[in-house]
Structure 1
């Protein structure tokens, strides 16, 4: 899959991560709406009858931090 190779290249991953990259690429492809269905839904949504939760999608090997406003912070 071209998308798996692209993800590995831009993340700088070695070839031993090929399997994980293919699984991730297939999951992304099944979560994105397609023209194959007249109502423009994703294959995932068509199969499970609900939309994909995109909150857990992350860029591979990307260091990112979430900002929490002061009003939502509390002591542990």
Structure 2
């Protein structure tokens, strides 16, 4: 079974990378749409920890796909 996520990477006020991970993202998003959405998140300045803005500047966005193959799953029975 494969799963796809979209990872939105920002830099915080101290230059450290902070990531927002979105499960089951819309397929085929283009750079302009994603960058605009990320800019709105950064511009809102709604998220902070210990008085440091977590999503200060837009850094990058990437789709990631993971593949897992079950050997067994006790919860499925």
TM-score range, shorter chain: under 0.3
Structure whose residues are more often strand by fraction:
2
TM-score normalized with structure 1 length? 0.27
TM-score normalized with structure 2 length? 0.27
